[in-house]
């Protein structure tokens, strides 16, 4: 059989660049609900867990032991494990059950029990639960800021822009590992230029990352990766104990951390055993809680395409966000790594976190172009900023970003690049030239930046890492050289490290350095009227897109066309002449002078008349005042026409050929999308109308079809039609017109 053209077209769609596989539970290639996952179980003996999810303590691996001894809340464990999972699932969506009730009860659940509970929920229910159980009431978002060149001025400028756009956290990383301290410095200076209080991090090897934090160059760390299988954990060069110690080490320096986990990582590393991705993730999350991390970045993260290859994979990823939230953890909910070739699929997946809101809707929105993303490409990039803002506005949802003006962005970008230029000068790093500052101010990507001497930059990075210089020297340099405000903000970040308030669950800062966390901004959602609602001020801010226009000015007043004179005579009467009536809308040639397709009324009218005359009939022009509706205009004209045929013409150009005996909403030919009409079309319409009048056979006027017209012009149509309706005089008769073209 020859290939179906339909199927060949489908095969070439973006969606079919994605890979899809069937489940293979024995290999762990199953998103959730594997028949091989353990049944929930828990046995306690003298206040100690002796069996969990079908394994006795003697059979415990590292992770079982850590979960049993640190994560499980034993005080309510027996109650929770005895409770029906379905009843618990219903609590999750019951507006009468508060976040605190749920967290306190589910504290006693084993990993298998948690998986069983969320397994009862469909995605809408999971979203309802996430809306209620996420830690911080005010949702936020995190940005990724990197560039392929690792250009410091561009990093600073992009960090400033991301901060200005509203991101509460910014994460950078490295292409060349040695660049870590300079990249961290660039986004620190840049972010605090854009907005005080933005938290920053640099994702590098654990020990290096801790060093950067100790130097004061970062204010949080996130990439403390954990796994749900002991062997994967060890391959990641850590154990639950080393990771927990690392968490304490950061906190001892006043630095916020969150762990990283996600479905699919274990099977990707070859260690899933035969367990589902979600079950292994539930183990990760309990380990995270046990280690005392305030939060987690999860939602499959860099493995996202793997669960998405499987049935129910996207649901499982939402389920893992939800499990993290019911464990009381801050959740930075993925949507960072590229999840699909299909924009439809990416957006559909995003909605699962975007609509309910999470602590950080993405754990890294790529605020730079895809080619500059050193995290392996972002799911949403700088090119998608406006899409995100429009969706927020469409749904009245706060996705953590705000509309911005180009001039403001340019201002903060230039200032950030200048500030970093100064620090480089004071630190005797390879200079950032004025030309680089200017390029960074208006750059979109690395490609817009002059190249730097990479060898010298790396040597400076090595020196900076080895030298005793700290953030204090950065503050001094900025302060000395006229950037007191940025110096003060960076200092305030250090003061916050001494205060420790942002070590609490789900903490961010507003631009006045007020901490917002699960403690002082707790999620109080319990149904309509509760929880996070956009304040009038925030809604105004999110509504006010720079590209939105005032409707009053979108269709400007059109200049009068002096060459067309329409002299009003007496009220029009029915006639018996061999004529075709052209019935004009009330604003035609008076307050409006062009069609929607920008054809002058004069030319349109001339073509219609010429077409009628070509067929040997007389055009008779009348003005209709009692209606602005195209069919009604045409119908009214037909009642006057000696031949019974009339052309109804609205000011926006919409045209109908009508006949006296037809019902008002019926017609001979209707041209509803006037931007598709040319002057030649109008002449053909005139000809056809005359041929109907002569009872001759007629071929309907062919019109090109452009289905985007309505989408593109519906607002203009509405506004033009509004002007026409303003000219309606109810009860006024049609008026005979004398037409003169000058």
Binding site for another protein (CB under 8 A): 61-62, 65, 70-71, 73, 100, 103-104, 206-207, 210-211, 214, 216, 230, 234, 237-239, 241-242, 244-254, 289-294, 328, 468, 470-472, 475-476, 479, 484, 487-488, 491, 494-501, 503-505, 514-515, 517-520
Nearer of residues 285 and 432 to another protein, judged by Cβ = 285
Strand order in the sheet with 220-225: 220-225, 256-260, 295-297, 330-332
**Cross-strand partners of 566:** 739
We find the least distance from the C-beta atom of residue 164 to another protein, in angstroms, to be 23
We find the least distance from the C-beta atom of residue 352 to another protein, in angstroms, to be 26
We find the least distance from the C-beta atom of residue 234 to another protein, in angstroms, to be 5
Give the integer Cα–Cα distance in Å for 129 and 297.
Answer: 18
The burial class, CB within 10 Å (0-12 / 13-18 / 19+), for 216 is buried
Residues annotated as catalytic (active site), given as ranges: 142, 144, 171, 222, 297, 336, 363
Nearer of residues 387 and 484 to another protein, judged by Cβ = 484
DSSP string, 381-397: -GGGHHHHHHHHHHHT-
Nearer of residues 443 and 515 to another protein, judged by Cβ = 515
Query: Coil, strand, or helix at residue 566?
Result: strand
Extract the tokens encoding 19.
């890979």
Task: List CB contacts of 366: < 8 A, sequence separation 6 or more.
Answer: 143, 144, 336, 373, 375, 377, 378, 379, 380, 381, 382
Give the integer Cα–Cα distance in Å for 185 and 466.
Answer: 15
Nearer of residues 253 and 740 to another protein, judged by Cβ = 253
We find the least distance from the C-beta atom of residue 300 to another protein, in angstroms, to be 24
Alpha-helical (H) ranges within 523-580 are 536-543, 551-554
What separation in angstroms does the CA of 214 have from each of 185, 246, 250, 426, 492? 13, 13, 8, 21, 16
What distance, in Å, lies between the first and last C-alpha atoms of the chain?
A: 66
Give the integer Cα–Cα distance in Å for 107 and 21.
Answer: 35
SS3 content of the chain, % helix, strand, coil (to 5): 45, 15, 40
Nearer of residues 241 and 741 to another protein, judged by Cβ = 241
We find the least distance from the C-beta atom of residue 100 to another protein, in angstroms, to be 7
Give the integer Cα–Cα distance in Å for 379 and 335.
Answer: 6
Task: List CB contacts of 43: < 8 A, sequence separation 6 or more.
Answer: 49, 50, 51, 52
We find the least distance from the C-beta atom of residue 502 to another protein, in angstroms, to be 9
**Cβ(667)–Cβ(656) under 8 Å?**
yes
- The DSSP symbol for 652 reads T
We find the least distance from the C-beta atom of residue 181 to another protein, in angstroms, to be 15
We find the least distance from the C-beta atom of residue 241 to another protein, in angstroms, to be 4
Nearer of residues 455 and 498 to another protein, judged by Cβ = 498
CA torsion 575→576→581→583, rounded to 10°? Answer: 30
φ, ψ dihedrals at 206, nearest 5°: -50, -50
Nearer of residues 243 and 620 to another protein, judged by Cβ = 243
Nearer of residues 253 and 710 to another protein, judged by Cβ = 253
């Amino acid at each position: 059989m020859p290939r179906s053209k339909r199927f060949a077209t489908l095969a070439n769609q973006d969606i079919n660049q994605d890979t899809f596989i069937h489940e293979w539970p024995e290999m762990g290639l199953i998103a959730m609900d594997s028949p091989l996952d353990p049944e929930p179980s828990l046995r306690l003996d003298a206040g100690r867990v002796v069996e969990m999810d079908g394994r006795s303590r003697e059979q415990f691996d590292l992770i079982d032991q850590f979960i049993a001894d640190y994560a499980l809340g034993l005080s309510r464990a027996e109650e929770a494990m005895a409770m029906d999972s379905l009843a618990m699932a219903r609590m999750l969506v019951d507006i009468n059950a508060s976040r605190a009730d749920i967290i306190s009860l589910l504290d006693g659940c084993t990993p298998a029990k948690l998986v069983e509970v969320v397994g009862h929920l469909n995605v809408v229910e999971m979203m309802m639960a996430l809306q209620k159980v996420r830690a911080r009431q005010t949702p936020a978002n995190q940005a990724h800021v990197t560039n392929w060149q690792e250009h410091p001025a561009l990093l600073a400028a992009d960090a400033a822009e991301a901060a200005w756009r509203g991101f509460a956290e910014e994460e950078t990383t490295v292409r060349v590992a040695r660049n870590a301290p300079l990249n961290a410095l660039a986004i620190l200076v840049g972010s605090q230029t854009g907005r005080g209080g933005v938290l920053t991090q640099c994702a590098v090897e654990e020990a290096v990352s801790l060093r950067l934090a100790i130097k004061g160059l970062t204010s949080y760390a996130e990439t403390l990766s954990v796994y749900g299988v002991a062997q994967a954990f060890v391959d990641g060069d850590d154990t639950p104990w080393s990771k927990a110690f690392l968490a304490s080490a950061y906190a001892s320096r006043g630095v916020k951390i969150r762990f990283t986990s996600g479905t699919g990582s274990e099977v990707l590393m070859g260690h899933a055993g035969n367990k589902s991705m979600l079950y292994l993730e539930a183990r990760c999350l309990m380990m995270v809680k046990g280690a005392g991390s305030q939060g987690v970045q999860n939602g499959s993260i860099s493995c996202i395409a793997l669960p998405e290859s499987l049935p129910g994979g996207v649901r499982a990823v939402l389920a893992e966000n939800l499990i993290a939230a019911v464990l009381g953890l801050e959740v930075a909910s993925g949507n960072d790594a590229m999840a699909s070739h299909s924009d439809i699929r990416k957006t559909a997946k995003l909605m699962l976190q975007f609509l309910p809101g999470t602590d950080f809707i993405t754990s890294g929105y790529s605020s730079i172009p895809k080619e500059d993303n050193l995290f392996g490409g972002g799911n949403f990039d700088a090119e998608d900023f406006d899409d995100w803002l429009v969706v927020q506005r469409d749904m009245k949802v706060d996705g953590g970003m705000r509309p911005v003006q180009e001039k403001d962005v340019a201002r903060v970008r230039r200032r950030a690049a200048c500030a970093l230029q100064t620090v480089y000068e004071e630190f005797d790093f390879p200079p950032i030239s004025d030309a680089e500052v200017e390029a960074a101010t208006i750059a979109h990507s690395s490609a817009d930046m002059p190249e730097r001497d990479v060898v010298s930059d790396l040597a400076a990075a090595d020196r900076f890492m080895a030298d005793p210089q700290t953030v204090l020297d950065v503050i001094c340099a900025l302060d000395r050289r006229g950037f007191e405000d940025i110096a003060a903000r960076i200092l305030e970040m250090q003061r916050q490290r001494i205060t420790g308030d942002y070590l609490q669950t789900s903490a961010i800062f507003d631009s006045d350095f007020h901490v917002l966390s699960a403690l002082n901004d707790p999620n109080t959602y319990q149904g309509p009227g509760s929880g996070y609602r956009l304040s009038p001020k925030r809604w105004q801010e999110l509504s006010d897109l720079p590209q939105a226009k005032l409707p009053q000015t979108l269709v400007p007043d059109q200049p009068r066309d002096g060459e067309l004179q329409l002299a009003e005579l007496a009220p029009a009467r029915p006639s018996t002449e061999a004529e075709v009536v052209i019935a004009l809308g009330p604003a035609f040639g008076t307050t409006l002078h062009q069609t929607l397709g920008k054809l002058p009324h004069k030319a349109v009218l001339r073509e219609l008349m010429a077409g009628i005359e070509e067929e040997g009939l007389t055009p008779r022009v009348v003005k209709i005042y009692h209606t602005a509706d195209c069919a009604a205009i045409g119908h009214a004209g037909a009642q006057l026409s000696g031949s019974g045929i009339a052309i109804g013409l609205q000011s926006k150009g919409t045209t109908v050929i009508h006949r006296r005996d037809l019902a008002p909403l019926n017609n001979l030919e209707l041209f509803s999308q006037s931007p598709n009409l040319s002057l030649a079309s109008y002449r053909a319409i005139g000809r056809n109308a005359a041929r109907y009048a002569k009872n001759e056979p007629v071929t309907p006027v062919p019109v090109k079809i452009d289905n985007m017209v309505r989408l593109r012009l519906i607002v203009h149509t509405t506004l033009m039609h509004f002007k026409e309706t303003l000219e309606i005089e109810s009860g006024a008769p049609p008026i005979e017109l004398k037409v003169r073209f000058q």
